[in-house]
């Protein structure tokens, strides 16, 4: 039997392509992003804080954001009693709050200007930091009403699920980018200390 090395090479290449294609299909997330491959910050995120679709009973309309500080989750309400659930970092003790606001502004790679009260507490902070990968606001920011608080990204996935901020809500950059693409300015945001019963 005569074995053609070129034919073996082509068959091996085709088999590798099929395997890679299957792996890519398995890595698709539930956010309707075909061919999506998790980023490094998502891969290091604790499994319980990774974005997932969940059953969620509420009287709020689809498109509403509900932040549950005690649970460390942000829910984007979907039709049919479901919600997209994102793991978040929340305000540390003394900086947690609740209320009803709307998204007043959206910004990609936002600049950061710490408010005066934050500089008073932490005088070593820069007075201004241009947007970019090293900026603590991360890839996207959703500004909450007329407050100084935001839903924003972070380059520190280990802080998701913790209470370390000065009142803002942080998601890994991949998740805040996904949320940013799904919600418009004017979206209703409900911040709760305890889950809805």
**Residues assigned a catalytic role:** 152, 168
Contact at 8 Å (CB) between 147 and 101?
A: yes
Contact at 8 Å (CB) between 54 and 83?
A: yes
CA-wise closest residue to 90 among 186, 192, 197, 195:
192
- Distance between alpha carbon 178 and the CA centroid of its chain, in Å? 7
Token pair for residue 93?
Answer: 């003790």
Token pair for residue 40?
Answer: 């490094």
Strand segments, DSSP code E, in 79-187 are: 82-87, 90-91, 99-108, 140-144, 150-154, 163-165, 169-172
Contact at 8 Å (CB) between 64 and 188?
A: yes
* C-alpha to C-alpha distance for 57 and 197, rounded to whole angstroms: 9
Q: Which helix (H) or strand (E) holds 74?
A: strand 73-78
CA-wise closest residue to 192 among 92, 90, 94, 117:
90
């Amino acid at each position: 039997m005569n074995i053609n090395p070129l034919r073996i090479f082509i068959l091996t290449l085709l088999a590798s392509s099929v395997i890679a294609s299957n792996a890519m299909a398995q890595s698709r997330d539930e956010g309707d992003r075909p061919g999506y491959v998790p980023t490094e910050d998502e891969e290091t995120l604790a499994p319980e804080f990774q974005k997932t679709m969940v059953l969620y009973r509420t009287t709020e309309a689809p498109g509403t954001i509900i932040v549950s500080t005690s649970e460390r989750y942000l829910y984007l309400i979907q039709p049919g009693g479901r919600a997209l659930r994102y793991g978040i970092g929340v305000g540390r003790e003394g900086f947690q709050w609740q209320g009803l606001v709307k998204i007043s502004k959206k910004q990609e790679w936002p600049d950061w200007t710490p408010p005066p009260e934050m500089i008073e507490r932490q005088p070593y902070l820069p007075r201004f930091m241009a947007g970019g990968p090293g900026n603590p606001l991360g890839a996207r920011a959703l500004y909450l009403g007329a407050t100084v608080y935001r839903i924003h990204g972070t380059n520190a996935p280990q802080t998701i699920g913790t209470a370390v901020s000065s009142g803002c809500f942080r998601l890994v950059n991949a998740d805040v980018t996904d949320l940013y693409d799904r919600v418009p300015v004017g979206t209703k945001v409900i911040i709760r200390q305890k889950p809805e019963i």
